[in-house]
Amino acid sequence: MVITPQILLNAYTQGIFPMADARSGKISWYDPNPRAILPLDGFHVPRSLLKVIKKNPFEMRYDSAFRQVMLACAEPAPDRERTWINSEIVRLYCELHQHGFAHSVESWQDGQLVGGLYGVTVGGLFAGESMFSRVTDSSKVALYYLVERLRNHGFTLLDVQFTTNHLKRFGVIDIPRNEYKARVTKAITVSAKF
């Protein structure tokens, strides 16, 4: 089956997302139980990160280098040689971005993209997909600015798919699949604009 942007958006409205196998490249659909979310009203900002944010070390941009953010998220890292972000995933999400349904938050320093994240929006849902960091705290600062933007623009749900040690410090919670799907059903009816 050829995945189109419309199929991808329909999947998100049902709580499902794709990932490519790191070895074969085959794209599969995921519907985790439990599901990890970052509550927008309960987002925890560690004191050490607040100190960094007050120093304003990064220029924050939105949607200025979407493809670059995706490619940076796909780069090998010390703990992984390959990721689930292959060329087909990049193509699909770049198409979603062109149609206004995928967005990036970017940390820039001295004219260089040094960190960021990207995700998909449908109504009041922001489904976070991946993040990267080339400079200490650059992705954490991007996450902080994402949450601020979502709060200010009427979003109600920030999906982060799986709980990680990185996200635990920000107040991530796991909820049952059926509760997540109920929240998605409500969120996608909200009129929010990234």
pLDDT higher than threshold 70 for residue 89: yes
pLDDT of residue 184: 98
How many structural domains compose the chain?
1
Has residue 192 been placed in a domain?
no
Q: Is residue 107 part of a domain?
A: yes
The answer as to whether 193 is a domain residue is: no
Burial class (CB in 10 A: 0-12, 13-18, 19+), 1: exposed
Q: Is 45 inside any structural domain?
A: yes
Give the position of tokens 């990721």: 83
Q: Is the pLDDT of residue 82 over 80?
A: no
pLDDT at 79: 67
For residue 139, CA distances in Å to 9, 42, 49 come to: 25, 19, 11
pTM summary value: 0.95
Residue 145 structural domain: 5-187
Q: Is residue 28 part of a domain?
A: yes
Lookup: tokens for 76 = 């090998």
Residue 66 sits in a domain whose CATH number is 3.40.630.70
